[in-house]
């Protein structure tokens, strides 16, 4: 009986500590403003790739124009 | 420019996704912690894949109704782009699973079914590559395309929900509920989905236009 009581007590106490525990998030990184570095890098990569895609789009448009002239 | 408004919209939505996705608040959940933000990138890959494959299947049906090269090109190139989205989806999922589930390949029903769905679509390209005659290749692959789409939908959306799966939105609870996705995340998630889908369509249309130009060159060469 004692064993079970102990078990129940331990489970409850562990649940209680879990509830108190804050979920760990990158709060320090945010408060230091370093998250902006990450966002800036990702935005630059996105701009680069999209710019490249836009250039490809223009090239294909030119090709289509030349082809329609030939017809 | 007026014709390309949706390309600009796609870029704007993706910039918004990056900025809001990393800077806006997300629910504080155990185990996933900050990785919940991966939702803005991992899930839209699958949404994109399903849309690309749906368009591909529609053109496969259209090809079978009226066999023209145009429909065949549209069907293949949308399937191509869809496959890229699917592969990105499965690999991003593996990175995420490694962090939250403990190993990249967990044998979870959602992972296994998604892998099978991608293999079914890979077989589509194997089939295309193995037939020399152009008309035969187009017709056979159009029929197979419909089968592949019909297999992919239950594999990804139904089977994982019928069994127990660790993947959110599965194992009995369909779709996203309030626990998985709160209103703050929806504000980023839905624009992200639209942005990624539009980007996929942009890439697919570029490939289609290149293929059409190629066909025209072949025509001119035949004529000369």
How confident is the model at residue B178, as a pLDDT? Answer: 47
**Cβ-defined contact of B34 to A25 (cutoff 8 Å):** yes
Nearest chain B residue to A24 by CA: give it.
B33
Residues in chain A with CB shorter than 8 Å from the CB of B38 are: none
Task: For B148-183, write each residue's pLDDT tens digit.
Answer: 999 999 999 988 888 888 888 776 555 555 455 678
The answer to whether B78 touches B89, Cβ cutoff 8 Å, is no
- CATH number at B12-223: 1.20.120
**Cβ-defined contact of A71 to B213 (cutoff 8 Å):** no
| Distance of residue B154 Cα from the nearest chain A Cα, in angstroms | 34
Task: For B123-142, write each residue's pLDDT tens digit.
Answer: 999 999 999 999 999 999 99
Q: Does the beta carbon of B143 lie under 8 angstroms from any beta carbon of chain A?
A: no
pLDDT-based confidence at residue A1 (cuts at 50, 70, 90): low
Q: Which helix (H) or strand (E) holds B201?
A: helix B183-223
First to last CA, chain A: 94
Sequence spans of domains, chain A = 30-71
How confident is the model at residue B222, as a pLDDT? Answer: 87
Q: Residues of chain A whose C-beta is under 8 A from some C-beta in B?
A: 22-26, 35, 38-39, 42-43, 46, 50, 53-54, 56-57, 60, 63-64, 67, 70-71
Quickly list DSSP for B17-48: HHHHHHHS-----TTTGGGGGGHHHHHHHHHH
Distance (Å, whole) CA B113 – CA A62: 43
Distance (Å, whole) CA B53 – CA B189: 21
Mean pLDDT throughout A4-14? 60
The answer to whether B173 touches B51, Cβ cutoff 8 Å, is no
Higher-pLDDT residue of B194 and A26 is B194
Residues in chain B with CB shorter than 8 Å from the CB of A56 are: 206
Optimal mutation site among A28, A37, A44, A64, interface B, most CBs of chain B within 10 A:
A64
Higher-pLDDT residue of B101 and B202 is B202
Quickly list DSSP for B176-198: --TTT--HHHHHHHHHHHHHHHH
How confident is the model at residue A6, as a pLDDT? Answer: 63
Residues 6+ apart with CB under 8 A from A68: none
* ipTM score assigned to the predicted complex: 0.82
Task: For B28-82, write each residue's pLDDT tens digit.
Answer: 888 888 888 999 999 999 999 999 999 999 999 999 999 999 999 999 999 999 9
Q: Is the pLDDT of residue B8 over 50?
A: yes
Mean pLDDT throughout A27-52? 93
């Amino acid at each position: 009986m004692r064993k079970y009581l102990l078990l129940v007590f331990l489970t409850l106490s562990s649940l209680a500590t879990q509830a108190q525990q804050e979920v760990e998030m990158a709060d320090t990184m945010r408060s230091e403003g370093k998250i902006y570095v990450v966002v800036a890098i990702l935005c630059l990569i996105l701009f680069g790739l999209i710019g490249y895609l836009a250039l490809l789009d223009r090239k294909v448009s030119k090709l289509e124009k030349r082809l329609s002239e030939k017809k | 420019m007026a014709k390309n408004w949706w390309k600009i919209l796609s870029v704007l939505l993706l910039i918004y996704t990056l900025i809001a996705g990393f800077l806006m608040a997300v629910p504080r959940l155990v185990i996933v912690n900050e990785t919940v933000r991966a939702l803005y990138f991992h899930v839209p890959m699958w949404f994109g894949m399903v849309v690309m494959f749906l368009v591909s299947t529609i053109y496969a049906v259209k090809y079978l109704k009226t066999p023209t090269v145009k429909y065949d090109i549209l069907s293949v190139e949308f399937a191509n782009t869809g496959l890229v989205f699917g592969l990105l989806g499965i690999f991003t999922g593996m990175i995420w699973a490694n962090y939250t589930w403990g190993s990249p390949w967990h044998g979870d029903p959602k992972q296994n079914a998604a892998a099978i769905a991608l293999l079914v679509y890979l077989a589509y390209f194997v089939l295309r590559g193995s037939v020399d005659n152009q008309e035969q290749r187009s017709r056979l692959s159009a029929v197979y395309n419909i089968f592949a789409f019909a297999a992919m939908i239950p594999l990804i959306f139904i089977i994982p929900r019928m069994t127990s799966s660790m993947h959110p939105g599965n194992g009995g609870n369909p779709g996203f509920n309030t626990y998985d996705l709160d209103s703050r995340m929806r504000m980023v998630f839905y624009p992200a989905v639209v942005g990624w889908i539009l980007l996929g369509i942009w890439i697919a249309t570029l490939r289609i236009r290149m293929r059409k130009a190629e066909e025209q060159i072949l025509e001119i060469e035949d004529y000369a």
